[in-house]
Structure 1
Amino acid sequence: MRPVNILIISSVLVGLLIGMAAFVSVSNERMMKDVQKAKDSKGFAVVELFTSEGCSSCPPADALLERIQQDNQNKQIYILAFHVDYWDHQGWRDRFSDHKYSERQQQYANWMGLSTVYTPQVVINGENEFVGSNAGAIVKAISNGLEEQSAASVGLSARIEQGKLYIGHQVSDVGKDASLVLTLVEKVAHSDVKAGENSGRKLSHVQIVRQLAVIDANSSKEVEMKLPANFNENDFELVGFVQRNADGRIIAAGRNEF
């Protein structure tokens, strides 16, 4: 495996981001309406955020996606926050981090021909990537995804036995060279950060990926996942999507809210 080149967006950018906040807050009102106006269709938007509690540039991206989710409850928008682990040596270990999520981000770098990975990064439908605080580009890409017809589909079912989650799945029109990506998602969480770049801050998160599994999209085998200690059916959901292996494009998505 070739080494992962990591670009950490420096805390010196925080001042710039704060300075832009007033402009963004005004323009966001108009942009959010663009998402809300997206025509009803079979379209969808899978919005993957690569983030970390150790990254001082990440909270604005978390807040942006929280706003998008709040304002578009009835849209087929699937927000997934992957907390990467390469920030964990900077003074604060993110309790939601997992090396698998860093590997997933690196896979996107490979698909897209990027020389580095960074936080905060948003990838939409496996095709387009943006700095996670770039509200205009992110909202436009989400709107485009919602308006694009999708022939493929994903259906998910779930059962819980003896502290384990068993996921059933059914897909259609996905082709042969594709994977089914399954995620167990915690809807909301808060952390009091005691060290690192965000020391002293209380951070809010939405749609945190707590478990990840990737299988052949045409497999019929039930998938087993270990449940987090704080699992309850009201605070978690399943999100699954089909992704082409050749280029990473996501062609179908669905959820199960237990």
Structure 2
Amino acid sequence: MILKNLIGTAAFVALMFIVSAFVYKNKAKENHQNSSFKNNGFAVLELFTSEGCSSCPPADQLMGEIEKQYKDQPVYVLAYHVDYWNSLGWKDKFSSVENSKRQQQYSQILRSQVYTPQLIVNGKKEFVGSDRDAVESAIQTALFNSSNAKVDLSAKVSEKEINVNFKTVENNSQNKLLVTLVEKKASTNVQKGENEGRHLIHWQIVHQQNQISLKNSTEGTTSFKLPENFNINDWEIIGMIQNVKTGEILGSAKASF
């Protein structure tokens, strides 16, 4: 009977230890997230990708998971489809020369190579976009060590265009406000090239990005042509303030329609 009681007591203690560890872990995670908000931190993830790149789908998938995981936190994902892989047999319908130019600008500022999938966080750190550990680490570092410069955005939809009102107090002549029209999710059946036969899913696709100088005005309106079959639930506006000399992103926000 004594042995039975000892076994029962040991099992109870072990159970309580497991429960305590679980509560502590979740409490630590909660405190971790709350401290991020208190510090007013943020993370902007810019992925340079292509449907013509066989190593890009894992990075695209990871961005979708990150978007879902951090949906209630100031983490902003933008996927730029570059056009320099279009010559390999498949033209990426989401690609543009502007997206490729943006990556080349980062290459000069960060002294990095031009490759896909490349991820750049807050305009300061770059690495392979499918490296989950590096992505998670960079997000947490950004949330704890950045201070989000305030920018207010609001968007209105008319029959032909989307008008975005912006306002900020940042008036440094080296800073620009980048307002981006983003499609949250889309897919493609690739018929040629390195990803031939694959059904690719993309998240946070950059369709157009307007650059606004903050030298003379810190508030105003910018507009986008309304995409075909537009639905406000499938699109969003992301704005970010960037120092054009250093590449550092100083603040970011989403616009509500």
**What interval of TM-score do these two structures reach, taking the shorter chain for normalisation?**
0.7 to 0.9
TM-superposed CA distance for 1:149, in Å, is 4.4
Q: Which moves more between the two structures, 218-227 or 192-201?
A: 218-227
Q: Offset at 1:141?
A: 0.9
Report the CA distance between 1:83 and its aligned residue: 0.3
TM-score by length of 2: 0.83
Could you tell me whether the CA contact under 8 Å between 1:36 and 1:72 is conserved in 2?
A: no
Partner of 1:52: 50
Counterpart CA distance in 1 for 2:78 and 2:62 is: 13
Displacement, 1:64?
A: 1.1
Q: How does 1:134-213 map to 2 (within 5 A)?
A: 134-150=131-147, 152-173=149-170, 175-213=172-210
Q: Percent identity?
A: 43
CA apart distance, 1:175 = 2.8
Corresponding residue number in structure 1 for 2:81: 83
Q: Tell me what 2:63 maps to.
A: 65
Provide the rounded CA distance (Å) in 2 between the counterparts of 1:35 and 1:185: 29
Distance in 1, matches of 2:83 and 2:30, equals: 31
What is the distance in 1 between the residues matched to 2:121 and 2:253? 15
Q: CA deviation at 1:166?
A: 1.4
Which has the larger displacement, 71-80 or 36-45?
A: 36-45
Q: How does 1:1-258 map to 2 (within 5 A)?
A: 37-38=32-33, 39=35, 40-41=37-38, 42-114=40-112, 116-150=113-147, 152-173=149-170, 175-218=172-215, 219=217, 220-258=219-257
Give the match's secondary structure for 1:67: helix
Distance in 2 between the 1:173 and 1:98 partners? 29
Q: Say which is worse superposed, 224-233 or 181-190, in terms of deviation.
A: 224-233
The CA deviation at 1:130 is 0.6
Cα distance in structure 2, aligned partners of 1:174 and 1:149: 19
In structure 2, C-alpha distance between the alignment counterparts of 1:222 and 1:47, rounded to whole Å: 25
- TM-score of the superposed pair, with normalisation by structure 1: 0.83
Instruction: Give the equivalent residue in structure 2 for 1:21.
Output: none
Choose 1 or 2 for highest CA Rg.
Answer: 2
CA apart distance, 1:36: 9.3
Q: 1:67 to 1:34 in 2, by over 3 A?
A: farther
1:257–1:193 CA distance, 2 compared to 1 (3 A): farther
Per-residue deviation, 1:148: 2.4
Q: What do residues 29-74 of structure 1 show as CA deviations (whole Å, max 9, x unaligned)?
A: x9xx979944223110000000001100000101111111111211
Q: Which has the higher helix share?
A: 2
Q: Distance in 2 between matches of 1:36 and 1:235?
A: 32
1:89 positional shift:
1.1
Deviation at 1:217, TM superposition (A): 2.8
Q: Secondary structure at the match of 2:178?
A: strand
Corresponding position of 1:15? none
How much has 1:176 moved relative to structure 2?
Answer: 3.0
Q: Structure 1 unaligned runs (5+)?
A: 1-29
Determine the C-alpha separation between the residues in 1 that align with 2:198 and 2:99: 24
Partner amino acid, structure 2, of 1:201: R
Misfit runs of 4+, over 6 Å:
33-36
Cα distance 1:191–1:257, how it changes in 2: closer, same or farther (>3 A)? farther
How far apart are 1:140 and its partner, in Å? Answer: 0.7
Structure 2 runs not aligned, ≥5 long: 1-24
User: Contact 1:35 / 1:140 at 8 angstroms: preserved in 2?
Assistant: no
Give the root-mean-square deviation of aligned CA atoms: 2.0
